[in-house]
Structure 1
């Protein structure tokens, strides 16, 4: 395979990885398995690195928004209610209040135990459980440093997606 097709595939992979980080409905795992099945000449190391950069780059936006470093559009902010406008008590408002209390408790616990958040984010970046999106937001809420977030995320995502990119070739060797 020539240099230009490899660079094209790496560029497409970076775009899909970035898109899947921003829009979780896109599956980078399925794309990567399909790509290495159709283009076996691509290096698993390069694909793992490109996907890791795209994933962490996309999740960085969620991380910065959770930290409060990124200003969200106005329509995503809640509007304060006036004194004359009472909030109706419904099942939905009770559920939202419970979720807010739970999120606040998790945020306080993350501040008290910063190493807990780092290790949870590291495991999530490799295994995917708890979901990487959730630990990204929690890391931002906990005030994790950007350098630590990027370092842990890149390392874990690189390991995860390099192994995933190498898996079809390993499986094919095992069968023959």
Structure 2
């Protein structure tokens, strides 16, 4: 596994003629495509292999489950809040966007909300990363 952030910065430094927006567009598209698999798996649309599934229904209790149920209810009651959490996570990775993609699928966040906010956040993140080396070099 490699860090896509380091790859993007290395690519910009190696090939500065690549437009920043094109690099951000390609990476954001790939990232959302990958996270979409997480989203659908958590939603139950993709059947996971047996070793990734829960063994029994008894494991579905506890504080963590209660927290997730509250989160699911909040997602349905407050769609703007849901979009903001997704957008912030996609742009900053706080909380990690991979985890948020799974939770969004489990909470049955509308697909359009997930795709739009995730793509915009990822585009902003990787656009900023693609522009950063040029800004730093310009200062020097």
- TM (norm. structure 2) is 0.87
Match in the other structure for 1:40: 16
Distance 2:86 2:137 in 1: 32
Deviations 1:11-58 (A, max 9, x none): xxxxxxxxxxxxxx5311011111111111111111000000010000
CA root-mean-square deviation: 2.1
Q: CA deviation at 1:63?
A: 0.6
Unmatched runs of 5 consecutive residues or more in structure 1: 1-24, 82-86, 88-92
Distance 2:74 2:112 in 1: 21
How many aligned positions are there?
Answer: 139
Kindly indicate whether residue 28 of structure 2 is the aligned counterpart of residue 63 of structure 1: no
Asked if the contact 1:114–1:142 (Cα under 8 Å) also holds between the matched residues in 2, the reply is no
User: Which has the higher Rg, Structure 1 or Structure 2?
Assistant: 1
Q: CA deviation at 1:137?
A: 1.6
2:98 to 133, 146, 171: 133
Unmatched runs of 5 consecutive residues or more in structure 2: none
Deviations 1:66-98 (A, max 9, x none): 1122111122222338xxxxx9xxxxx8xx843
Match in the other structure for 2:119: 154
